[in-house]
Structure 1
Amino acid sequence: MLFDTHAHLLEATPQEVAALHYPVLNVTTDSSQWSDAVELSKQSPMVACALGLHPWFVCEDSFPALVTLENYLQREKICALGEIGLDFQKQFSANKDLQLEVFESQLQLAQKYLLPVSIHVIKAHNEMLALIKEYPVSGVIHGLGASLPLVKSYIDLGFKVGVNGVVCRENANRYHAMLQNFDLRHFVLETDYPNIALPGQNNVSLNDINRVAETVASLKNSPLEEVLLQTGYNAQQIFRFSQD
């Protein structure tokens, strides 16, 4: 089964969403998107809703937003918390302590409501690993392109790794090594629509998930059907998506 575990569907057209014939986890980045995301999941049977505060947008207003987030978790059908995480790149490091506090609060919510998480992490792996050990949750490390030992650290904690269009680049050496060294049972597929352009394409599309799957099949020397079956099963085990 095809399952796109990470896309920003509020940036897609209504026609693109209506054409979906497989599940997509629609992630959000701040509280201004949550109402629209919940409504989209109600209107679109293939859209699973994830609500979260992305580390790029964490600020003092994030604390009252956490109260709003819990209210949504109590009354709506939410499949995951996402996109959440830590990003300590230079341009985001000034609010490092704030990021840590807000992320920890979201992990606590994930535990309380038994929800998986979709995690963004850049240059903050020591802090991330410490926190997800302290607050054991299930989920996906989105777009992880890291050393093999670091990938194994997340896998050993039960996380899946989200593979997106970066894998289609010839120079994506870490992505390729990761796929060649770990079993398919540790991976899920994602587009990160509309943020990842595939090589040789001017436009991004939700259909890019097909080329991601084909590239994974080539790197694993596996039939495409096997890739879709295993990664789809992995995603379904995490996000428990249903069209009810």
Structure 2
Amino acid sequence: MIIDTHCHVYDGEMENAEEIIRQALDNDIHLILNGTDFKSNIEVLKMAEKYDNVHAALGYFYTLVDDITEEDISLLDRQLENENVIAVGEIGLDYYHTKDNRDSQIELFESMLNLAEKHHLPVIVHSRKAMQDTFDVLKGHDVVGSLHCYQGSAEMARQFTDLGFYIGIGGPVTNENNKKTRKVINEIDVSHMLVETDSPYLPPQQKKGEINTPLNIGYVIGKIAEELDMNEDEVIEITTKNARTLFKI
């Protein structure tokens, strides 16, 4: 079994989502589908209820900071009780386009972490140009989880793993100029890593320009194995064990 710990394979993101899920099942690839808003959370739950290889993560993304109401939070609270939900995500902070709404982003992030604590669920965290704030917020909560498509330094990665977090490694690690991520995987132990695709986004270098799918997870695994001078089967075994431990799959 391989576990793609972060992807968006549902109708709102991909035209042939169910076909891709079935292909993944045929290849013994399990998927953690991440919702980001009201509609996608419902779609994720639908897929998780239909397919044995699909697990649901539900959350509200930073892009919703101006729209979220207490009623919306209550809805998500109820949805998290579904037996197919294994995490709160995708949630987090993103200052790439603007930092003007920093306080509102942090407030929404905090509310998502509070729900994770309430339901005793791990979190799947997005952090872009906001690594220090992400760390500072997370260390104030009794949660564990993953840093999806990790973009920070190796030094910061070690701080996250000390909190009990795993580092998500995806397609960008295969890019020739991405020395930063390769440094991360060389300086933290593989016991702290998860593999992911972020499908339909962030295809590996070998599939550049194409729509990404979980079937490309092998390129990520191969690059980790190459960098660490490990057998690919060993990388699969360890990262799958990590995901099963974190998400209780």
TM-score (norm: length of structure 2): 0.92
Q: Deviations over 1:188-218 (max 9, x none)?
A: 0000001102224232222110111011100
Contact preservation (8 Å) 2:124, 2:148: yes
Residue 75 of structure 1 deviates from its aligned partner by 4.2
CA RMSD of aligned residues (A): 1.4
User: What is the match of residue 143 of structure 1?
Assistant: 149
Contact 1:38 1:76 in 2 (8 A): no
Residue 212 (str. 1) matches residue 216 (str. 2): no
Q: Which residue of 1 aligns with 2:59?
A: 52
Alpha-carbon deviation of 1:126?
2.3
Q: 1:214 to 1:95 in 2, by over 3 A?
A: same
Distance 1:158 1:129 in 2: 12
Match of 1:18 among 15, 22, 34: 22
Q: How many equivalent pairs are there?
A: 240
Once the two structures are TM-superposed, the CA of residue 24 in structure 1 deviates from its matched residue by: 0.8
Assess if the C-alpha contact under 8 Å between 2:57 and 2:90 holds in 1. Answer: yes
- 1:70 corresponds to which residue? 77
Paired letter, 1:148: A
Where do 5+ consecutive residues of structure 1 fail to align?
A: none
Contact 2:80 2:119 in 1 (8 A): yes
Quote how far apart the aligned CAs of 1:33 are. Answer: 1.4
Tell me the secondary structure at the aligned position of residue 89 of structure 2: strand
Query: 1:58 Cα deviation (Å)?
Result: 2.5
Distance 1:239 1:24, change over 3 A: same
Which deviations, in whole Å up to 9, do the C-alpha atoms of 1:142-172 show, x marking residues without a partner? 1112222111111111100000000001111
Q: Which amino acid aligns with 2:19?
A: Q
| CA deviation map 1:39-86 (0-9, x unaligned) | 110001100000001113322335432111001113453110000001
Alignment partners' CA distance in 1, 2:69 and 2:237: 38
Rounded to whole Å, the distance in 1 between the matches of 2:70 and 2:108 is 7
1:180 paired to 2:186: yes
Distance 2:238 2:83 in 1: 29
Separation in 2, partners of 1:221, 1:16: 31
CA distance in 2, matches of 1:232, 1:211: 16
Confirm whether residue 117 of structure 1 aligns to residue 123 of structure 2. Answer: yes
Percent sequence identity is: 29
Give the alignment partner of residue 231 of structure 2, picking from 197, 200, 223: 223
Is the CA contact 1:213–1:227 (under 8 Å) kept in the aligned structure 2?
Answer: yes
In structure 2, what is the Cα distance between the partners aligned to 1:75 and 1:81? 12
Structure 1 236/103 Cα, relative in aligned 2: closer, same or farther at 3 Å? same
Give the letter for the 1:77 counterpart.
N
Residue in structure 1 matched with residue 37 of structure 2 by the alignment? 30
Measured in 2, the distance between the counterparts of 1:157 and 1:23 equals: 26
Q: Which amino acid aligns with 1:233?
A: K
Tell me how far apart the structure 2 counterparts of residues 49 and 148 of structure 1 sit (CA, whole Å): 29
TM-score by length of 1: 0.94
> Does residue 160 of structure 1 match 2:166?
yes
- Give unpaired runs (5+ residues) of structure 2: none
Q: Secondary structure at the match of 2:80?
A: helix
Matched ranges for 1:90-109 at <5 A: 91-109=97-115
**Equivalent position of 2:90 in the other structure:** 83
Matches of 2:244 and 2:47, distance apart in 1: 20
Amino acid at match of 1:38: L
